[in-house]
A and B are shown apart, each in its own frame.
Chain A
């Protein structure tokens, strides 16, 4: 066992998968110089053919990674900042998500795109987005939102082994998180399997990415008030582990979803709507969403600080279920 940070867990997963499968390669801007911190040592170990620096041509690079995947490689593309995905939006929607479907299932598209959600760091409106919900609206993509080092490693390893395109949204608020990783882990975390981190009987909090840690903190505080909170980390948003979420809410009767994304059409919206639609009778209070309000990240650190979900907001939402 060794203690590892979130970013090093990503690096470890990439190296392990590259060792395991010669078809795996990594590509990204500033990858060889390891500017973004998850590629340390890869160039030295795997060489220039399998560790490629990309020109700043997101459209060509996203499409080329897909094309390479269709012809036998298994690329992992580091998109760096999540908002750079928009530059290649046509490739993600019209090619990555659709090529298998449009071929009548004759093609496989085993490609992984990693992007960091770099927010609460005064990077302002163009570099601070948490854009996974808009990709949830595109059938054909799978979406992972690792909430810690164990998840970052385990989900990425699964993503590489899948024959479908996977977008991994890595939360920069978690970069410094440390966890023990099993050294010889050959059972990666399957996509579509939620993790119940804390069992409770009064309220289910489904929490996404950095909100998982905040939800656990809130649950600890609420326990002192006699409220028993169950914390569920879906780990992937597509596929979503509805069974685990439904089972939990059926027991607790109350749902709070904590999601760093912008409020409207957030992942929280989808979870709340689906629970209301499918198991309305189990609910003893209306579902609550703890999200980011429908504004962009302001540059001003003073304004940005209070914008995103935190433990206090999650606690307040939980308490409101009993009003």
Chain B
């Protein structure tokens, strides 16, 4: 198990925040090619959920995946190298920001077509059950993806076979610009669990303890062979859907401000400071360490080589066969 002490939870949230702030800067400067989606604002949801797993457990991330990989224990240097398209990247420069995966820590795929990776994550659990691996599969998706048929089929399949899956919905309120309140038949995505005969809980996604607690219950249930669960973390993205994506306003400034007032990191820091779990100096040191680690990651990524064109064919088929 990851030792999910308050300090570890805070360190992980700060690492995700510092990493994605830096990634946003590099994207705006044009150094990171393509499209990136930042986790900023949603750190408690991803860190709280992954902290309930061990490194051996499986995980499926989505297009907003930097936080998923880091929360699962991925190396920030190799993650940043992936964002720069380098050979030392977690996917050797073949996945990029939208498809980050790190098999070494169980993050087997990051899938950017909404809902598309969810069936695959159910398959991880099928292997775990059949081969008695004892591993749980944690599958991230959002409120937008919760309307995809793939997710509904997957929940049914996981339920009928009692597979060790934890479906975790980061409900950040918007599928690009379309509000969940306008696109979902339910107020809480967790209500949909009832249709698949599994527990569904909604938690405050800005509260890392709440997410961690709900995920821990779901993981325990899965490990005991009692089948899948759905955990919904109500959260908010503080940035645009994607960086460098100019979109006319669709969220009220007051709404954004209200959520920013519930930034998961200061929220947790205040709890730890007032309960004397952490001193102010320790808090500062955690933030500084996260920023320093991010700078190291950037330096590592910049110094890394481009991938080889030979790998285009080599990565397509395991036996290296040509078409």
* B95: Cβ under 8 A from any A Cβ: yes
> Interface size (A, Cβ < 8 Å)?
48
> Do A107 and B108 have beta carbons less than 8 Å apart?
yes
Stretch touching chain B among A87-95, A114-122, A219-227, A245-253: A87-95
Residues of B288-323 at the interface with A, using a CB-CB cut-off of 8 Å, are 307, 311, 314-319, 321-323
* Chain A residues within 8 Å of B126, by CB: 64, 67-68, 73
Shortest 3 CB-CB distances between A and B: which pairs?
A67-B123, A63-B119, A104-B92
* Chain B residues within 8 Å of A163, by CB: 318-319
* B242: Cβ under 8 A from any A Cβ: no
> Do B116 and A67 have beta carbons less than 8 Å apart?
no
Contact with B along A57-73 (1 / 0, CB 8 A): 10111111111111111
Residues of B124-165 at the interface with A, using a CB-CB cut-off of 8 Å, are 124-128, 130-131, 133, 135, 137, 149-150, 153-154, 156-157, 160
* Chain A residues within 8 Å of B317, by CB: 100, 140, 142, 164
> Do B131 and A73 have beta carbons less than 8 Å apart?
yes
Contact with A99, one of B109, B127, B314 (Cβ below 8 angstroms):
B109
Smallest beta-carbon distance B132→chain A, Å: 10
For the complex, give the distance between the alpha carbons of A23 and B131 in Å: 8
Closest chain B residue to A60, Cβ basis:
B153
> Do A95 and B116 have beta carbons less than 8 Å apart?
yes
For the complex, give the distance between the alpha carbons of A30 and B149 in Å: 22
* A2: Cβ under 8 A from any B Cβ: no
Smallest beta-carbon distance A72→chain B, Å: 5
> Do A239 and B108 have beta carbons less than 8 Å apart?
no
* Chain A residues within 8 Å of B125, by CB: 67
Smallest beta-carbon distance A226→chain B, Å: 37
Interface residues of A (CB under 8 A from B): 23, 25, 49-50, 55, 57, 59-73, 90-91, 94-95, 99-110, 139-140, 142, 162-164, 191-192, 238-240
> Do B319 and A95 have beta carbons less than 8 Å apart?
no
Closest chain A residue to B127, Cβ basis:
A71
* B118: Cβ under 8 A from any A Cβ: yes
* Chain B residues within 8 Å of A238, by CB: 323
For the complex, give the distance between the alpha carbons of A57 and B158 in Å: 12
* 17 CB-based A-B contacts, threshold 8 Å: A25-B130, A59-B150, A59-B153, A60-B154, A61-B157, A69-B127, A71-B135, A73-B130, A90-B150, A100-B317, A102-B91, A102-B94, A104-B315, A105-B92, A108-B318, A140-B316, A162-B319
12 more contacts with CB within 8 A, not counting A64-B119, A66-B119, are: A57-B156, A59-B119, A59-B150, A65-B123, A70-B123, A70-B127, A73-B126, A91-B150, A107-B101, A110-B318, A139-B323, A140-B316
* Chain B residues within 8 Å of A61, by CB: 119, 153, 157
Contact flag A64-B321 (CB < 8 Å), given A71-B58, A103-B94? no
Contact flag A164-B95 (CB < 8 Å), given A59-B119, A95-B111? no
Smallest beta-carbon distance B183→chain A, Å: 19
For A61, A90, A101, A104, the residue with the greatest tally of chain B CB atoms inside 10 Å of its CB is: A104
* Chain A residues within 8 Å of B111, by CB: 94-95
> Do B130 and A64 have beta carbons less than 8 Å apart?
no
Contact with A along B23-57 (1 / 0, CB 8 A): 00000000000000000000000000000000000
> Do B321 and A192 have beta carbons less than 8 Å apart?
yes
Closest chain B residue to A25, Cβ basis:
B130
> Do B157 and A105 have beta carbons less than 8 Å apart?
no
> Do A105 and B314 have beta carbons less than 8 Å apart?
yes
* Chain A residues within 8 Å of B89, by CB: 104
* B103: Cβ under 8 A from any A Cβ: yes
* B120: Cβ under 8 A from any A Cβ: yes
Smallest beta-carbon distance B243→chain A, Å: 21
* Chain B residues within 8 Å of A103, by CB: 91, 94-95, 101, 103, 108-109, 315
Contact with A along B87-125 (1 / 0, CB 8 A): 001111111000101010000110101001111111111
> Do A64 and B316 have beta carbons less than 8 Å apart?
no
* Chain A residues within 8 Å of B131, by CB: 23, 71-73
Smallest beta-carbon distance A145→chain B, Å: 15
> Do B127 and A67 have beta carbons less than 8 Å apart?
yes
Smallest beta-carbon distance A286→chain B, Å: 24
* Chain A residues within 8 Å of B118, by CB: 63
For the complex, give the distance between the alpha carbons of A72 and B58 in Å: 13
